[in-house]
Amino acid sequence: MSRLISKFRHFAGGMALLAPLPSISASSTCAGTNLTGIPGNGKTLILSDGSLAGKAKVNINIDGYGRAYHPQNAAAGALIHLCNAGQVHLPDGRSYHGSLDNSTCTERFMTDVAKARVAGWTNPNVALVRWYGILGRGKGVIARRTVKNIVPFLQADGSGFYVSPTALADETIADPAVQTRYVNPLRIPAAVIPKSDALRSRGVVMGSFGVAWDPAAKRAVPFVVGDYGPAIGEASPALARSLAGLPITDHVTRANRYAGQVDAARIVWVFFGKAGGRTKYDSGNEQLLVTGAMQAFQAWGGRDRLLTCFP
């Protein structure tokens, strides 16, 4: 799970917050009660069937893409700067996230990472890096603090790129360094959720389904829950582009990586929860996730229910 999707994303609108939806009682399919406490400090509507709905932005999350992170960043064709993938811990007890600001990202962070790499990643006398945007293994103790995921995985194909994982993965592929083990964000409309007992207890978990709805454009895109993140409102490029009426493409570049981003909290995010079921990921048949999301959407009430509840 990457803390930010691209270099300095926090300058481009920040984290999407859930916004309250109007109370709707015209139909039993729309009536609900408010729920608070979902990370993002907003309100969510729990509908009568147990599904949850709230308004949020659309930020792009490209975790799972095989060309997301590289030790040499954009010079090697990576879409995301490495500073968005880790937190440095120093021997004097200080720590910082690489995405703190521009100079931290391109200078301080890369310098400390280079030192840690030369020292084999595990030397507490130099620095330990907690990786969260790329796959890491192992742990160490520095300044009496245990730091996990300190040795980054390079992809097994020899491409030189780091493994960009998703929480939803093909468990039949045992090697975690195989990038195809993880949900392909360029092909699969996928959403991010925060780790929350309130969501988990209602069946909003990895492999469950939902729909993103733009009331202004009257456009709905069913999705699968594919990864964890800080708050509701992050979408794979396939989801964001579809919601914006753009074609899904494998040719995502630094120039078009933000396509489909919505900076206003106007998108309705509906999570079907237990009523929508869940699925496992089969990397050999990505279309199963797309089909499953569509079937769950239709069973939930489809476009007609969206138009009724969230016009």
Lowest mean pLDDT among 26-35, 174-183, 292-301: 26-35
pLDDT value for 283: 95
pLDDT grade, residue 42 (50/70/90)?
A: low
Measure the CA–CA gap between 83 and 140, rounded to whole angstroms. 20
3-state secondary structure of 137: strand
- Average pLDDT score over residue span 82-97: 97
**Neighbour tally for 41: CB within 10 Å:** 11
pLDDT grade, residue 11 (50/70/90)?
A: very low
pLDDT value for 311: 85
Q: Tell if the pTM clears 0.85, that is, is over it.
A: yes
pLDDT at 18 over 90: no
pLDDT value for 133: 87
- Average pLDDT score over residue span 81-95: 97
The answer to whether 142 and 89 have CB atoms below 8 angstroms apart is: yes
- Average pLDDT score over residue span 88-98: 97
pLDDT value for 31: 84
The answer to whether 54 and 39 have CB atoms below 8 angstroms apart is: no
Kindly state the helix (H) or strand (E) to which residue 141 belongs, with its residue range: strand 136-142
pLDDT value for 21: 44
pLDDT value for 19: 45
* pLDDT digit string, tens, across residues 99-142: 999 999 999 999 999 999 999 999 999 999 999 989 999 999 99
202 torsion bin: left (phi>0), alpha (psi -120 to 50), beta (else): alpha
The answer to whether 22 and 34 have CB atoms below 8 angstroms apart is: no
pLDDT at 96 over 50: yes
pLDDT grade, residue 28 (50/70/90)?
A: low
pLDDT grade, residue 39 (50/70/90)?
A: low
Percent of the chain surpassing pLDDT 90: 81
Lowest mean pLDDT among 39-48, 50-59, 118-127, 241-250: 39-48
pLDDT value for 185: 96
Please report, as a single letter, which amino acid is at residue 6. Answer: S
pLDDT value for 17: 40
